[in-house]
Amino acid sequence: MASNVLDKVESARIAALQAAANSDAPLDKCKDEAELQAVILFPALGTPYIAPVSEKTIKVYLIAESKCESLFDIKNTPQGKIAPLAWHFINKHMRLLPFKEAHKTSTDLKGTTLYGSKGAAKAGIKVWYRGTYSDGAHGAVGSWSRQLYDHRGTLVANLRQSAVDFFVKGTAAYGLIAPAHPLAPTKADVSNQPLEHLFEIELSVQGLRVPPQPNKAYTLAWMVSNVYRQATTGNGRPAFKGVTEWEHQDKLIYDFLWMMKEKKQHFWEPFTFNVPAIEQDKLSSQLHAEASRLKAYHPVMFKDKPALHIGHLTDVHISSRHFALAASQAAVIPGVSEPIGPKVTNSFVALRELFNTMRNSGADAIFLTGDLLDFNQNFNPLRLQHGATKEQWLQYDLSKQFKNCVAQDAQLYPRGLDDMLAYSLIKYSYLHDCPVFVVTGNHEAYDVPYGIAPRLNGRGIAQTYQQTAMLRRKAQQREEKATKLEAEAQALEAQNKMEQAKAKRDEATAVRNSREPGEPVAPSVLTNTGSTPMADPAQRAEELSPFAEKARNVGRSVERFFGGSGKDDSPLQATLKWIKKKTDVEAQNAYEYSESRANEGIPADHNLTIYEACMAYGPSYGQLLKSWNFTPSNFDWFFMMFTPLSDFQVHYGGTQSFIGLDWGETEIMVNADMLVNDNHEIKQTAQQAWDKIDFTLDDGIGGNTKKAWDAMAKEFQGNLQGFSIQKRLG
């Protein structure tokens, strides 16, 4: 009897909270407002949840808008404690679906809940409130930041800052993620609310409406009403015909891709490619159906094995340009030799076959550890001029196709095409019940394309050091501003104004880490004394430039560069003036190449000799558009579409742990002299410097830079014994 009374009291409380929030419209009675905006952080497409069948639970991390405070009844709930009524709304909005059937449209979900009964939901859903977001390094009491801890205090993952910006602040590197379809308020509330409240969730598999079967892929979804159901495209057609419900994260993805199309020349069609139909020299059409739209997935899989067999692939370098090169009819001896095109290795086709081989050979999961693609902006093979080789060469000529590193034809050189190919293949793998873990490499951040045999030249070298000085100046300005803010914070702390002081320190951190949209990063150089900033422009110009003599007397050290007067006669100003003059001269001839190659292995990666590669690509084979191509804002796509987690650890039963590490925010070159000097002594010095890095664990998987390793090792030091990080230059 007492239990029945408590149930009635709880039901009355839920009804009162729903009425107050006006959010109880069931999914099959859609209104044009998301009942509760929320995003599942984990699992994600590139960080799935995999467990042995004996575990019987699914672990989830969810962030939600402030409306959850009243709905979940957590206004007086301390961090780390159970959220009293969250189970009801999780049962209402969350779904578990077979991955092959996860179209996530109204026809899939009408009238259903996560569990088969209210009693099963209440017994099966455990929810811990982890607090509200704070910009602090570790978060204040009652808050969370970039680190995800479970209720036991164990670090689970680090969030990428850009992912926090997407979901908590509603911004990306290139600005506000505004609604793609700004409908009138009388039609729909299309706003993106800040998702500041974090919840850790455990779902029992007992009583689920769709009980997961062993060795089959499923996905979770947080379903709400589609606020764009009244939106139309430019031709007046419905933007989402028949889709009355969707996952809130799908709206954020749609808005993000729309923004990228408007601001960054992104390949717009947000649908997957027909992976099985892709051929060596032919990119397939896209699958224009709602089931194939680019969406968020949160894979779940239970395996009936005591340990997982892992397929490990790295540096796969998908490049849509390969489809065009594979169609080349150029020949070493025209009319005599065979066409070069059929010899070209297509990295996507090869990767698809490797996926199939690994899966058919018994791999339970695949790990992709960085460099999924070559560069962010690439040639669109669907726009290839078929016919005369000369016409194709003109399409590859970057000096004609780009102006100030901006494509003149965004349909010929769109952004995101290779990302979409990677997404299509990873989703295809899940459709075959093979989950995929993914971490970043440095090439996910590379901005613009380069030739098939890129070479250094006088113009590029001059530009390199001009840009390095400019980037350093910006970094120094940010550091000076951040230092001033920290001094103000210290003064406030002396006055016991702790809250104001914390705000100042948070602002200082944001300033120090900020960059302009599209701002690249100049790498550090790994020498036998460790990692140092890129050597000063005049010194490097002396060592590398063919016109070094003219740079000899304009300053060598970093101290002199940034300790000068700043007047026209200062070493810095004199050097920059000289560089600008030489750049203007060198720019007159875009085909002036030196013998020094930026990467000697690229033709071989295409399965071609250097001569064959240059014949297929044309006389612009050696072009480099940018000195520093590493642009961290290009990581946005990865962390919106694949996973918001930068670093993570996943345990499988009591037998295996897997560690994934993000590439980080910069590059470290192993002695820049190696770019133009094949001297054995220099290579030996670089190898000795790399060996000095203290990697204390052996024979492992995954991993990227030492910086990422250091950051995660501090947090995971108690969990890493017996596991390791593979050394990798990227």
Q: What is the DSSP string of 4-63?
A: HHHHHHHHHHHHHHHHHHT----TTS--SS-SS-EEEEESBTTB-EEEETTS-EEEEEEE
Instruction: Report if residue 151 sits inside a domain.
Output: yes
Are 395 and 328 contacting, i.e. CB atoms less than 8 angstroms apart?
no
In this predicted structure, the answer to whether residue 678 has a pLDDT above a threshold of 70 is no
Predicted TM-score of the model (pTM): 0.81
Q: Rounded distance, CA 173 to CA 516, Å?
A: 8
Mean pLDDT, the chain, as a whole number? 78
What tens digit of pLDDT does each residue of 202-242 get? Answer: 999 999 999 999 999 999 999 988 999 899 987 888 988 88
In this predicted structure, the answer to whether residue 617 has a pLDDT above a threshold of 50 is yes
What tens digit of pLDDT does each residue of 120-155 get? Answer: 999 999 999 999 998 764 445 578 888 899 988 888
Final residue in a domain of this structure, among 542, 568, 592: 592
Instruction: Report if residue 181 sits inside a domain.
Output: yes
Give how far Cα 553 sits from Cα of 72, 312, 540, 692, Å. 69, 51, 13, 34
Final residue in a domain of this structure, among 561, 592, 623: 592
What tens digit of pLDDT does each residue of 306-320 get? Answer: 999 999 999 999 999
Q: Rounded distance, CA 237 to CA 233, Å?
A: 5
Instruction: Report if residue 249 sits inside a domain.
Output: yes
Cis peptide preceding 414, ω within 30 of 0: no
Locate tokens 């991993």: which residue?
Answer: 703
Q: Which domain, by its residues, includes 500? A: 458-519+534-592
Instruction: Report if residue 346 sits inside a domain.
Output: no
Beta-carbon contacts of residue 149 (< 8 Å; ≥ 6 apart): 130, 155, 156
Final residue in a domain of this structure, among 229, 262, 295: 262
Mean of pLDDT values over 654-667: 88
Instruction: Report if residue 712 sits inside a domain.
Output: no
In this predicted structure, the answer to whether residue 527 has a pLDDT above a threshold of 60 is no
Query: 10 falls in which pLDDT band (50, 70, 90)?
Result: low
Beta-carbon contacts of residue 277 (< 8 Å; ≥ 6 apart): 284, 285
Instruction: Report if residue 432 sits inside a domain.
Output: no
Total domains in the chain come to: 2
Instruction: Report if residue 330 sits inside a domain.
Output: no
Class of residue 639 by CB neighbours under 10 A (exposed 0-12, middle 13-18, buried 19+): buried
In this predicted structure, the answer to whether residue 108 has a pLDDT above a threshold of 80 is no
The candidate with the shortest Cα–Cα distance to 521, out of 448, 662, 629, is 629
Instruction: Report if residue 228 sits inside a domain.
Output: yes
Structure tokens at 506: 């948070």
